[in-house]
Amino acid sequence: MKKKNKEKLKKKRNKIKEQPAIEGTICGTGKNFAFFTPDSGKGDLYIDGDDLCGAIHGDRVLVRKTTSKRGAGEGRVVRILERPKAVFVAKIAGEYALPTEKGMPRSLAVVRDGSVAFGDGHIAVCRMLDNEPIFCTVVEDLGEDGETDTEVMRVVREFGLPLKFPAKVVAESESVERTISETELNGRRDFTQDCVITIDGAHSKDFDDAICVKRRANGYTLYVHIADVSHYVKEGGAIDKEAFKRGTSVYFADRVIPMLPEVLSDDVCSLVEGQNRLTLSVIMDFGAEGDLERSEIVKGVIRSKARTNYEQIAAILSGDEELCEKYGFLTDMLFAARELALILKERRLKRGSVEFDLAETEFEFDENKRVIGIKKAERLVSHEIIEEFMLAANETVAKTFFDKRVPFVYRVHEAPPEEKITALCDFLDTLGLQFPTKPEPEDYARLLGEVGDDLKGIVGKVALRSMSKAEYKPQCDGHFGLAAKYYCHFTSPIRRYPDLAVHRIISAFLSGKTLKPYEEWVKSVSVTSSLAERKAEEAERRVDDILKAEFMKDKIGNEYDAIVSGVTERGIFAETDFGVEGMIKAESFPARYTYYEKAMRVKFPSFSIGIGESVKVKVERVYADKVEFTFADDKK
């Protein structure tokens, strides 16, 4: 170290040695500095790279405040207390590992211990050596950089997604009794003679919801049967602890990382056709106009009469002769289900529920699991039936247990934050549209309903981005997007822990047990489940991007029609009609242009373009998880 730098550090240490040490967490940025968040939650401190003293993102540390010429709070790490993330993903470059994750050192020297073979230029999982933050060993070779399988595994490892279940979890799941005893049926409602069916994706394996609809003289009775997962996943057991840690199943296009072992999710708990299965069931009587007249939540047992998929049900409702003949015993129930679903949807939209027309991306793979096709998923009437019935059940359960004043886990969607509403209003003002500064859900619904087709795409994208992120809370603060005062997640306990938690509370209530022990537990479930959901969503987006990039690798130079999906100072994002988004970088723009931030528009000498508008793009480059476009020739 140079003499000048040594003197500088010595002076800094002398200034801070009398300051009391503060305990907290390092939040890295990926650059040569970080931030320190004290446990008190007050007064984040800036930590210069030289003052990190080997600390990395996520470390629990002791920090002393230093003086700051900038007037901002600064600090220096004096001790690393705990390192939760000693394992990280990096690219191997000779004798060095170059971390690809946030908040890590730029490089670490690799100590070769011979336990794992790895190649130069490969992506690897590395482990820091204890008390040696500049050295690491390789614990897993993920493969060559840029390969699709390598990139997917990079995401899995970076997000810490567990591919295998611990031995204790496997052993406990294999010991679960697969047959239902007479004792287990005591006190349960028998629905085995009803026309109960499951409607899922064609390739689904876990069926956690089933439905039945019966017409009444002046309305309908809807039965929503949900797999009674909490009956098998015992509180505090190995399976329960692992499910709590995972929080959710993670769905990639080519694989699933389940929350529960497959023996439960695909077999014991799954509502498979022709097998008796235990359920928590919501029975709802609706009037002819869709008003809820009566509801009941009970423990039940069902026997699914048919495992159907969305395409089959849509075809039956469209009059497909072959399927109507095959499923003739279902047709009356299905037509009643469609009638009720449309009534419930109309009623929901009237109260102000916001309806964004968002299509999911579907991938087609060859026998080697290579992406050979991408398209936007078609939304069918069968999707609407299941969606409306699950919404109805979730609302009914939330309202029921809110009224009972018991500890619960609610699904909360707060009103949009003020700064996002300001940005939305500024944008709408450029289009000559007015919007309230403190909107209600019906204001969004009205806005999307009133704009013409030429503006619907533009306005819809920007309006959606102004929304808050839904999360789990122990308080019933309502769901803004659905315009619902009471809402929870009840219908997917096989793949979401909050639903399993809700089931456990309901079962305890129905059994007459005290619910006081759950008061603190629902707080913990809410926090961990919200974090797990965000992690899963980000990982799923990353893998989707990787698969889309794989599909586009051999399409350099091709031109496509696209819609502008974002406008920033760095460039324009555009999405093709088959769902691939790429960026037109600002450096590739024609020589003269002006960027209008509020209007989300870029103006060139001969044309201008903004969010939601059509554009012709050419594929310029493809990276591991990114696609780069340029304007097609007619825009140059």
pLDDT of 629: 97
Same-domain pairing of 120 and 75: no
Phi, psi angle pair for 176, to nearest 5°: -65, 130
In a 3-state reduction of DSSP, which class is residue 298? strand
245: pLDDT strictly greater than 60:
yes
d(CA 98, CA 90): 5
CATH code of 20's domain = 2.40.50.140
Decide if 523 is inside a domain.
Answer: no
Q: Are residues 96 and 240 in the same domain?
A: no
Q: What's the token pair of residue 453?
A: 């087709």
| Separation between Cα atoms, residue 332 and residue 284, nearest integer Å | 19
Across 47-65, average pLDDT: 86
Which pLDDT tens digit goes with each residue over 159-168?
999 999 999 9
CATH label of the domain that carries residue 120: 2.40.50.640
Q: What is the pLDDT of residue 16?
A: 46
Q: What average pLDDT does the chain have?
A: 91
543 occurs within a structural domain: no
Q: Which residue has the tokens 């449309």?
A: 342
What is the dihedral sign for C-alpha 538, 541, 543, 545?
A: negative
Angstrom distance (rounded) from CA 487 to CA 411: 6
The larger pLDDT score, comparing residue 9 to residue 624, is at 624
* Residue where the block lists tokens 């869709």: 290
User: Range with the lowest mean pLDDT among 240-244, 484-488, 566-570?
Assistant: 566-570
Are 563 and 454 spatial neighbours (Cβ–Cβ below 8 Å)?
Answer: no
Averaged pLDDT, 94-116: 88
Whether residues 62 and 97 share a domain: the answer is no
Residue 19 domain flag: yes
Task: Give yes or no: residues 238 and 286 share one domain.
Answer: yes
> What average pLDDT does the segment 140-146 reach?
93
> What is the rounded distance in angstroms from the CA atom of residue 63 to the CA atom of residue 75?
6
- Top-confidence residue, 73 or 428: 428
High-pLDDT (> 70) share of the chain, %: 94
The whole domain housing 612 covers: 553-635
The answer to whether residue 151 is domain-embedded is: no
**389 shares its domain with 426:** no
Cβ atoms within 10 Å, residue 47: 24
Q: Is the model more confident about 313 or about 100?
A: 313
Of 22-26, 285-289, 379-383, 530-534, the range with the lowest mean pLDDT is 22-26
Place of tokens 């876990």: 206
The pLDDT of residue 5 is: 57
Residue 11 pLDDT greater than 60, yes or no:
no
Q: Buried b / exposed e across 470-508, counting CB within 10 Å, b at 16+?
A: bbbbbebbbbbbbbbebbbbbbbbbbbbbbbbbbbbbbb
CA angle 526, 86, 31 (to 5 degrees): 90
Question: Residue written as tokens 């009391």?
Answer: 20
Chosen domain end from 82, 99, 126: 82
For residue 10, what pLDDT band results from cuts at 50, 70 and 90?
low
Give residue-wise pLDDT tens across range 303-319. 999 999 999 999 999 99
Record the tokens describing residue 382, joined without a space.
């069968």
**Partners of 127 in beta bridges:** 87, 137
Tokens of 305: 């009469």
* pLDDT surpasses 90 at 581: yes
**Integer distance in angstroms from the first to the last C-alpha of the chain?**
52
**Rounded to 10 degrees, what is the CA torsion of 358, 266, 496, 59?**
-110
Tell me the average pLDDT across 191-210: 95
* For residue 71, pLDDT beyond 80: no
The count of domains in the chain is: 5
Same domain, 385 and 460: no
C-beta separation of 571 from 586 below 8 A: yes
Percent of the chain's residues with pLDDT above 90: 69
Tell me the per-residue pLDDT of 279-304, one tens digit each, with 9 for 90 and over.
Answer: 999 999 999 999 999 999 999 999 99
At 377, the pLDDT band (50, 70, 90 cuts) reads confident
* Domain final residue pick, 366, 401, 436: 401
The one-character DSSP state at 74 is E
325, burial (CB in 10 Å: exposed 0-12, middle 13-18, buried 19+): exposed
Q: Distance between CA atoms of 439 and 318, rounded to whole angstroms?
A: 39
If one compares 194 and 66, the residue with the highest pLDDT of the two is 194
582 belongs to a structural domain? yes
- The pLDDT of residue 2 is 52
DSSP code of residue 378: P
**347-374 mean pLDDT:** 88
Residue 452 and residue 331 share a domain: no
Average pLDDT over residues 606-623: 91
> pTM for the complete prediction?
0.87
pLDDT digits (tens, 9 = 90+) for 435-479: 999 999 999 988 988 887 767 777 888 888 899 999 999 999 999
Per-residue pLDDT of 255-275, as tens digits, reads 899 999 999 999 999 999 999
Query: How many whole angstroms from its chain centre is CA 42?
Result: 29
Collect contacts of 78-81 with beta carbons under 8 A, ≥24 apart: 78/21, 78/53, 79/21, 80/53, 80/54, 80/55, 81/23
Q: Is residue 36 a part of any domain in this protein?
A: yes
One domain, residues 305 and 191: yes
Q: Are residues 455 and 395 in the same domain?
A: no
| Same domain flag for 304 and 206 | yes
* Residue 619 falls inside a structural domain: yes
- What tokens does 81 get? 């207390």
323 in a structural domain = yes
Read out DSSP for 331-397?
A: HHHHHHHHHHHHHHHHHHHHTT------PPEEEEE-TTS-EEEEEEPPP-HHHHHHHHHHHHHHHHH
Euclidean distance between CA atoms 37 and 44, whole angstroms: 5
Position 44 scores a pLDDT of: 82
pLDDT at 254: 85
Query: 267 and 378 share a domain?
Result: yes
221 and 329 together in one domain: yes
